[in-house]
A and B are shown apart, each in its own frame.
Chain A
Amino acid sequence: MNDAQTLFREGVLALRERKDAAEARRLLTESLRIDPQNEMAWLWLARTISDPQKRLQCVERALAINPANEQALAIKRQLNGGAAEAVSEKKPTTAANRKLSLNEEKRLRAMLKEADDLVEAGDVEGAIEKWVTVLDIQVDHEIAMRNAVGYLSRLKYIDDARELVWRALDAGTQHPSIYLTAIDIARHKGEFAEMETLGERLVKLPDVDDAMIVSIVDRFIQQEQHMRALEILSSVIEDHPKSQKLLTRMGDLHKMAGRDAEALKFYDRAARLGTGTKEGREADQKLLEHVPASSDRERGSVALALREAAGIAVIFIVLAWHDAGLDLFNLGLERWLGVLLAFVGGYLLITATSSPQQIPIAKWLGGKVPENANIPDEEDEDFDEPIAQASQLPIISDGLRFVLGIGGAGLLVAAFALVFSVALGLLMNPVPPTDIPSLDQLLTGRWW
């Protein structure tokens, strides 16, 4: 046994037993440097590489040595049909999506029943034959695939199981479960690059659910490929805009990358969809750790600004109520006018100070979107307002805000003079109370 063979064997062991792709790649590369004519070493090296182009180069080196190498041909076929082409865009082949005739369906059901009977009778190999026959008719029949692959794996015929799965994949199956099976087989065989490729194809399937996408993304996270996970999630998130699970995981990934503001947006989107679900609550809890994000909808809302003005009007009603001798039904026209002025003045003041981005008002007053979109500074510790998301809302100019603010304050002063006129008169000329009890009266009586 020469050095190249030893290195080759150790490389294969590193990948197969220890799942250590980096070490396997190093050993196999060393082996090929000594003996570049080892076609199997090229194929094993391909399994340690995630870049499809580089994998293809390895496979082609193996085929240059032995053009009839079936394994190399199969891998080449996968690579050409897989990574470069998104499954969702791939035209389904007739084999995977062919509409079965009633007779064929009947025949498949009968064969599945026979296979079940054979399993019960202990004839597993016979059952496998039946399932394989079913798969010959419908290449991605889920039940037949699950059973055939399951039993083949238990009997250690992994390569046969893999062949069945890949036949379905090559035929353009759209069943996520078959992709998951292929991923499990690839993991078992230490084919990490293949796992990644399959994962990327799986998340783009039309019928894939968000739990599957999260499980794929989590596998990338476990392998510390955060950017790859983020890319995959970004590519599918808009197809699942109401998936709290995906939005929350997206937030998690941004947080891991240290982009808290981005993370908050996704947590916020998830929580806004409702907190009745586990994911909604989780997103809501994660938001609690941060200064909340204020959305354009909130900042641009006229109703929310009017709400604050209504609060000021309520204060003035209560003031007027006091001033009218605690008789709400006798406020008089003057005080009601004061309340109205307070509402208008309050609204102007609020518009000038905290709500200069109300959409129709700002547009009407010639507001403009600031050139430097207000991306929040995450280092700023002195939070006076919620973190503002990058906004495209028009904002009223500073000069006009100043005028509105002064006008609003003036109206509030006038309103105060109207609603509290009696009290203001008394403040200028107080009327001393004449019924204050003496100390002796207080010490002997009950007044407190």
Chain B
Amino acid sequence: MIGAFALFLAFMLQIVLWLVVSSFILPMPFSDTGTVRYRTLPYITIGLIIINSLIFIVLQAPNLYQGLAAMDEGDRLTGATLLTDYVQQVWTFGFRTSYMRNAISIGGFTTFTSMFMHADLFHLLGNMIFLWTFGRRVEDACGPWRFLLFYLLAGMIANLGSGVLNPADLDRPSVGASGAIAGLMGAYLLLFPGAQVNCLWGLGSIIRWPIVVVAHAIGLPKSLSIAPMWRWTVRIPAWTFLFYFLIRELLPSFEVMQQGAELSGVNNLAHLVGFLAALTIVFFARKDLVMRFFSGRTV
């Protein structure tokens, strides 16, 4: 019992540590300040988070983490068996262009299965935080079922683009919801550029502190002079964060498209194409919202 509790604590500590480290240099958005105008509960966003998490926890994590634990304990046979199962899952249900070109595995269905699989816990956590941050208002803007269609379409286009636009055709499996989520981020940028996102951002909080001290001392600007001296979170305009995301994905994607290689474990090209797939939001947004959008009014 105590052992299990200690393990749980260690696990949680690892997550907190990951959050602190990953949000120190670069901002990690966790919520937005915009108003949800049509409904209060984002059923599909929550549903997608649950499904993604369940698929990882139930189908992938046991093989991966028990396999790694067995390897650590020196049980190489068990470890290798479990890890091989994990690899087989990823290679069978991940998105590979050859599965469509040569009719292997489950063919085009891998575009869906890959969208609901993740490489490890932190891959899942990162994606789900972004899905929660940007998904709710986009779901609100579309309604639940149209939002689901848009999410799936963005994910499909992201997979398609990363396969078609990469001349090297390395044919390595791609997994993760990030292509679809990049689509949500692009849609968010289109629809709500004026919104603000609350971010965990260590460096931002540290930079903010002396600015607020000076503002308190001289009484200007008024908004900062009455703000708390220290905040663990930083609020930044959505468009700055999303443009930063776009530019961050743009350069490695161009490199992939030119050199035909994947430079790291991150499929930046899928993120970029998914982001651009946001343009299809025009088919799925609510009627009144579309009319407002094209007449230049706030949506």
- Which residues of chain A have a CB within 8 Å of any CB of chain B? 271-272, 274-276, 284-285, 287-295, 298-299, 301, 304, 307-308, 310-312, 314-315, 318-319, 321-323, 325-326, 354, 381-386, 420, 422-423, 425-427, 430-433, 436-439, 442, 447-448
Contact = CB atoms under 8 A, between A and B. Distances in A.
A385 B291 CA distance: 15
A443 B69 CA distance: 16
B76 to A, nearest CB: 10
A266 B240 CA distance: 34
Contact of B164 (A326, A433, A439): A326
B254 interface: no
Contacts of B24: none
B109 A292 contact: no
A353 to B, nearest CB: 9
Nearest to A353: B145
B156 to A, nearest CB: 5
Contacts, number: 153
Given A301-B287, A323-B107, 16 more contacts: A275-B297, A276-B296, A284-B297, A292-B289, A292-B292, A298-B288, A299-B287, A307-B290, A308-B146, A382-B40, A386-B38, A423-B109, A425-B107, A433-B96, A437-B87, A448-B172
B290 A323 contact: no
Contact of B39 (A288, A304, A383, A448): A383
Nearest to A289: B35
Contacts of A291: 37-38
23 contacts: A275-B295, A295-B288, A298-B288, A298-B291, A307-B282, A315-B149, A319-B156, A321-B160, A322-B159, A325-B102, A384-B38, A384-B39, A425-B103, A427-B107, A431-B104, A433-B92, A433-B96, A436-B87, A437-B87, A438-B84, A439-B80, A439-B84, A448-B172
Contacts of B258: none
A426 B103 contact: yes
Interface string B108-150: 1101000000010000000000000000000000010010011
Contacts of A312: 149, 283
Contacts of A430: 105-106
A448 B262 CA distance: 9
Contact of B106 (A381, A386, A427, A439): A427
Contacts of A437: 87, 91
A133 to B, nearest CB: 55
B289 A322 contact: no
> 8 closest pairs, A vs B, by CB?
A311-B283, A423-B108, A322-B108, A423-B107, A448-B265, A426-B107, A436-B91, A294-B288
Contacts of B96: 433
A364 B268 CA distance: 50
Given A298-B288, A311-B149, A436-B92, A318 B296 contact: no
Nearest to B91: A436
A298 B287 contact: yes
B106 A423 contact: yes
Contacts of A420: 108
B286 interface: yes
Contact of A442 (B38, B87, B105): B87
A12 to B, nearest CB: 48
Interface residues of B, number: 57
Contacts of A436: 87-88, 91-92
Nearest to A386: B288
Contacts of B296: 274-276
A354 B284 CA distance: 12
B298 A288 contact: yes
Contacts of A293: 288
A430 B109 CA distance: 11
Contacts of A442: 87
B100 interface: yes
B63 to A, nearest CB: 12
A287 B143 CA distance: 19
Interface in B247-281: 265, 280
A55 to B, nearest CB: 47
Given A311-B280, A322-B156, A422 B107 contact: yes
Contacts of A292: 37-38, 288-289, 292
Contacts of A423: 106-109
B99 interface: yes
A39 B172 CA distance: 103
A61 to B, nearest CB: 58
B80 A315 contact: no
B83 interface: yes
B95 to A, nearest CB: 9
B163 interface: yes
Contacts of B181: none
B97 interface: yes
A178 B149 CA distance: 63
A385 B119 CA distance: 38
Nearest to A295: B288
B92 A432 contact: yes
Contacts of B40: 381-382
B222 interface: no
B77 to A, nearest CB: 11
A326 B83 contact: no
B87 to A, nearest CB: 6
Contacts of B146: 308, 311
A280 to B, nearest CB: 8
B28 interface: no
Most-contacted residue by chain B among A312, A315, A381, A425 (CB, 10 A): A315
Contacts of B287: 294, 298-299, 301, 304
A90 to B, nearest CB: 41
Contacts of B290: 304, 307
Nearest to B144: A384
B234 interface: no
A432 B105 contact: yes
A68 to B, nearest CB: 64
Nearest to B97: A326
Contacts of A383: 38-39
